[in-house]
Structure 1
Amino acid sequence: MPMAITDPAQPDNPIVFVNEAFQLLTGYSREECIGKNCRFLQGDNTDPVAVAKVRKAVEAGDDIAIDLLNYRKDGSTFWNALYLSPVRGEDGAVQFFFASQLDVTERVESQRRIAGQKEQVDHEVRLRTADLEALLEAQSLLLHEVDHRVKNNLSVIGSLLRMQIRGAEEPVVRRALRSTMERVDAMAAIHRRLYQADDVRYFELSSFVVNLIQDAVNASAYNSLTLDSSVQRTVLPSEKATSAGLLINEVLLNLFETYLPLAAVKLDCHSDGKTISVTIGTRLLSKTPHHEMPAISAKLIARLAAQLEADVAWDRTLDGTSATIRIPVSSNHAET
């Protein structure tokens, strides 16, 4: 691993040692490095904010890990994953700074490509959503054309996300993309049910929830996972379908987190004529502490619930979790 040591006791904190790996990475010989401040590796496109953070850490005698754009002797650039830490003497004073470098150019460029692809997807979604909203206001004779376009749009988005997942190297990036893909898949399932229904004014929530949970059970890594369900046929106005379907899907994503050793799932779906109540509960094979819900999930659940004027109640224990979603509806919509 490329390494360098600097001496803060000397003016301008110069380099006093570099190893062979450092020389190979930068193209500079040991003689060309000794006595210089590490800033000689910076160039026109090096982020001054990142440089200021390094300077502040040195002045405070703190550790820092940061990505910097550096320049080799031949003028080519590379992304440097810099880790800098002070080496203190017995009296606690900083005697040297130890710096390790790692060429992470491929990783940084991959992240930038993914960010660009995400922007492309977001742009495509905005364009297609506007297009769909206009089409849905048209006459009923355009219904089949709308159906065809929505399928194509969701297919394009799903394909782009799958491409991103295959190209992503960081586990956290793959996890975020996979969650987004599952949300798109949920939207596709809602759309398919709406346009296959005999009456597109209504959305059968009960059968959607059953299929969604059954798919999650079938895809689980636990072969012995069982599903116990008590379901009453319930429907919503179609304008609430997407929000309700995505809300239930988001709750389910958190109940089926991969770190949870699932033993059984229980579903209860019923209506009292004014409110549709959906309760999904899990029982675990062993006592397991719950991780904090991802911020994006918590925000989505809150916003979708607000759109529906619904509430979501959680009951978490070491033995399992249950979530109850209550969605208010008019009496003639709750059950037909």
Structure 2
Amino acid sequence: MHDTIETHFAEDELFHSFAGAQVAMIITNPNLDDNPIVYVNQAFTAMTGYKRSAIIGQNCRFLQGENTRKSDVDQLRQCIETNTSVSVDILNYRSNGEPFTNRLVVAPIHDAQGRVQFFMGIQKELSPQDVSSSANEIDDRLVEIQNRVRSDLSMIINMIRQQSSQDSSVPEDFAALSRRVETLQVLYDEMKLADANSNRDGIQLGNFLSRLIVAIAHVQGRPGVRMNMQLESLVLPIETAARVGLVVSELLTNAFQHAFERLDQGMIEVRMSSLSGGGVRLTISDDGVGIPTDMAWPDPANVGGRIVNGLIEGLEGTLHLGRGAAGSFVTIDVPAGGDMSDQFLS
């Protein structure tokens, strides 16, 4: 008999772990003028003292100051110009003017055609202990994190790029990318806990989805819309959990944004249980206005629909949409040992 995690909460409950990975991360877009920052995580704002609103749209040079070495800046510039990776220790400055030494590992993120779409920077402030320790050891830890994030981001970017023309969807790309990056960062937080418990290959799916659902409800929720979840305690491989989490993020965000138009109150429920063959069943339901019968859903014409369809296909799962007396419900079955290849990204 599996343990069950049952939670009920209101919209005004806070969840401060959202995008809370301890390693600072930024994403820049070299295809825009001056390669501006388009995403930062909470750890970056905490490290630098700058608010997110003051960072987005800036070039990373705003962190430099009078004692920043030109040779370090030149290494970063060459990395961007040649679409290569680099690791550099650079002197940066916080919002209050305080200097700090920053170990920065930068690498390009490519789409399926090999074109550079973004650059990602993983950063760690160097303490005196770090400075005296092996540089290779620190690099190894940061590169391990970087490789995980790059792999997951490449999957998302390739799916986003499948949407219509790039010119008409650029602003939506950034909003979509940020939300999906933060979904993955909840996973990375859970991975740290799994690693601490000597479970390097699996994720406690109930815990991960619980944190993710609360985070989405805090960001997307509104007064009058309640959220319930009932999640069994199951362990899944990390790759499977990442894709399941992304599916839940897409469906839950869609429910909050569209299920309660013109309604003052409502309920969203998420249930997760094991299948007899070892797989997972997820059900996301609401008592809102319901999805129209003449609407194709998930809609392959928009990015969210393509991501959901691609993830379900990659998991070798099935998705069923049902329409109740009030609202809609989506049931997803993911079999044990589904194909984790990237065939659905092409």
TM-score category by the smaller chain?
0.3 to 0.5
Who wins on radius of gyration, i.e. which is larger?
1
TM-score by structure 1 length? 0.47
TM-score by structure 2 length? 0.46
Which of the pair is proportionally richer in helix? 1
